[in-house]
Structure 1
Amino acid sequence: MARRALPVTAAAFAMTATLLLTACGGGDGGSSDDIKGADRESGGPSASASASTPAGAPDISVPKDLDLVFDFDEPSDPKHAAALVGAQNYIRALDHGIDQQDPKDPAYRYYSLNQAAQYAKSQIETWKKGGWTVTGTDKYYDEEVSTLSGGQGVLVKFCRNQAKFYGKEIKSGKVLSSEENLASYQTFRLRMIPPSGSSEVWRAFTIEVIGKAKECRP
């Protein structure tokens, strides 16, 4: 499902994260901003993610009842492929933090910086306050990977179908389900930056999540 990567300008990549999180897939909010996690994946970059994880990297495992699907094709450009893997690891790390109920979890801090790290922290705090963890199936697809001008990194964009992704009450085990609707579909835009300093991985620098993404609905 890969789309042709095109160069874009940094000015076209103004990132925000002003949307609010919902705890169950396809919720009623028109601008749902919840990013969730990982367990089983499909697609080239997903399969190679574990092999590219440096020794000593933090755990990014998630609940066994969370099925994450990355229906991506691996980009031919090695940098684009690495950036796409980094974006997936960021999502895994965020889910790990939600499951651990730890806003200071080392996983997301390893795979993100700046606004993307603050976003992850705020999401984990919200889930912790609600007493929820993640469950169900979360699917990501129709990826686009583009080089940003001026050495600003790589833009990774993809669709999300969270119709079968749900929150689950930790104490009771109750699953907070809802019916599929337009709010089940979102567009993600992540600015990824390459390894630098002590980092050995591509990290998310900024993230934008756009709800009710008609272009992502089949």
Structure 2
Amino acid sequence: MPAITAQSVVPTPRPGVEAQIAAVPGYYLSESVQEDANGTAMGQAAVMFEPGELIGVPGLAIGGRYVGDKENGGYPEPMLRYRRYVDPNEVFALGGVIHGGYGHGSASRASYEATRGGAELGFDLRTTPRSQWIEVHFAGSVGVTGLDASGDYCLDTSGRWGVDCPDEPDPVTLTHATASGFYPSASGAIALDLARHLSGVLHGGRIALHGAIGRMPRVEGGEQTSGETYTAAGLSVTLGLGAREPDKR
């Protein structure tokens, strides 16, 4: 379960597409049944299309991401994003993302399924002078995710915590558990923006280092208890392509 979308809220001046690969902060749902629950970085691939002036709503984008991997039950998630500058010098930007999806997976005789949806508000502050080649930005976000999940897994000898199930054909006793609720998260990032203000089809790139803190569900002995706080870090690389700047002649 990713803690953040890792989406930049810096507007693009013209219609375009942004593609991203990332290891985003988050947690695997299996951690919620572990005695020592930890956050981790999880794989993400995302594409967002921003039609901008083509539909008369600059800053509005639609797209999606694929989170996780096949082994750990990766899943697709559509996203809707809006972003804009709030000052004439284009130093400070705000934006928001709405996302949601359904995932399921199985491994080592354990399985899960989960439906989730969330909203994220973010900001971006350019901390160096405007440049065609390289800028330093500080970004952050707060978000909340609604989760409804269930799964079957094996318990340790104490009957409290999840463990790997024995290999077949050994007999196995599975415990069924459910978890639901709303889980907040907050993040900060330091980013390098490259070639952002050129006039051609290259709309720029971004390399960002992310850190996040959030809450995850907690299940003990098959019963949901209070949530658990986790921290995690990640890295994202984003490339923007799109329309050229109109000829001013």
Question: What's the TM-score bracket when you normalise by the shorter of the two chains?
Answer: 0.3 to 0.5
Which has the larger share of helix? Answer: 1
| Structure possessing the higher radius of gyration over alpha carbons | 2
Q: What is the TM-score with the length of structure 2 in the denominator?
A: 0.30
Question: Which structure dedicates a bigger proportion of its chain to strand?
Answer: 2
The structure, 1 or 2, with the larger RCO (C-alpha pairs under 8 Å, 6+ apart) is 1
